[in-house]
Amino acid sequence: MESNIITTRRLRAYYGFDLILKDIDISIPRNRITAIIGPSGCGKTTLLRCFNRLHELTPGAKIEGKILLEGNDILKLNPIEVRRKIGMVFQKPNPFPNMSIYDNVIAGYKLNGTKQSKEKLDEIVESSLKKAGLWNEVKDSLYKKGIYLSGGQQQRLCIARALAMNPEVLLLDEPTSALDPKSSAYIEEVLVELKKTVTIIIVTHNIAQAGRISDYTAFLYLGRLIEFGPTEKVFTAPKNLQTERYLSGKFG
């Protein structure tokens, strides 16, 4: 039986008076890839941003309900601590432009004022870049600026930066939408390998991508969780007519 790492209970998210997420109850399995799919504006990114307390950074935004990480309600924890445990990679690669590849990877330690020896930092940089599938391409140019890398390499650098903090969960919001097919395929390979050590939750508009790499799929529509289960079941025998219509391209 799968064990779950994140569980939500009657999760609601607002922007001002607008209710964006409506009573979401979901349990995310540990060391699996869960894809969140659904048409634009259905609440996918909002749900992702709730998981690591980024949603509340928007003026007027708020969360109600419970989000449990390993049984602890993250809404009662320090948001900075939550973001150490739950890392995030955004749609557009965003390495810090003035930092080297090396400094980009350890940026979280610098920003948090966490002191580490040079040997330890070297180890973290190498390990994180290896996990992100980037080490062999950049090991001889660690002190060049990360912004000079290709788009696909920049996104893998952002994955390495998130992994450097040793998170339990990695959130990815459309991480390949700005990339060419070859770079996208490489990142998909990296994610499938990564789930051995970290739980992955990915928002994607690309239904084929969700089918290729995810173990579980959540379908959101108009702020509600319509269906959630093993990807193979959701894709081949959806229980809900709306899910079937979305997957067959009738809307979305």
Q: Mind spelling out the 3-state secondary structure of 61-107?
A: EEEEEEEEECCEEHHHCCHHHHHHHEEEECCCCCCCCCCEHHHHHCH
Task: Indicate if the pLDDT at residue 136 is higher than 80.
Answer: yes
Task: Indicate if the pLDDT at residue 19 is higher than 90.
Answer: yes
The residue ranges of every structural domain in the chain are 4-94+169-247
The pLDDT assigned to 115 comes to 84
The pLDDT assigned to 251 comes to 76
The model carries a pTM of 0.96
The pLDDT assigned to 1 comes to 66
User: Which of 186, 202, 191, 126 is CA-nearest to residue 151?
Assistant: 186
The pLDDT tens digits for 82-132 are 999 999 999 999 999 999 999 999 999 888 777 889 999 999 999 999 999
Residue 116 bridge partners (DSSP): none
Task: Indicate if the pLDDT at residue 35 is higher than 70.
Answer: yes
The pLDDT assigned to 92 comes to 92
The pLDDT tens digits for 160-219 are 999 999 999 999 999 999 899 999 999 999 999 999 999 999 999 999 999 999 999 999
The pLDDT assigned to 252 comes to 67
Alpha-carbon distance of 227 to 196, in angstroms, equals: 25
User: Which of 176, 157, 44 is CA-nearest to residue 94?
Assistant: 157
Please report which confidence band the pLDDT of residue 77 belongs to, taking 50, 70 and 90 as the band edges. very high
Task: Indicate if the pLDDT at residue 45 is higher than 80.
Answer: yes
The pLDDT assigned to 179 comes to 94
Amino acid in position 95: P
What architecture (CATH level 2) is domain 4-94+169-247?
3-Layer(aba) Sandwich (3.40)
The pLDDT tens digits for 216-241 are 999 999 999 999 999 999 999 999 99
Contacts with 115 (C-beta within 8 Å, 6 or more apart), sequence order: none
The pLDDT assigned to 111 comes to 81
Least confident window among 1-5, 24-28, 121-125, 155-159? 1-5
Please report which confidence band the pLDDT of residue 70 belongs to, taking 50, 70 and 90 as the band edges. very high
The pLDDT assigned to 112 comes to 77
Please report which confidence band the pLDDT of residue 2 belongs to, taking 50, 70 and 90 as the band edges. confident
CB 96 within 8 A of CB 103: yes
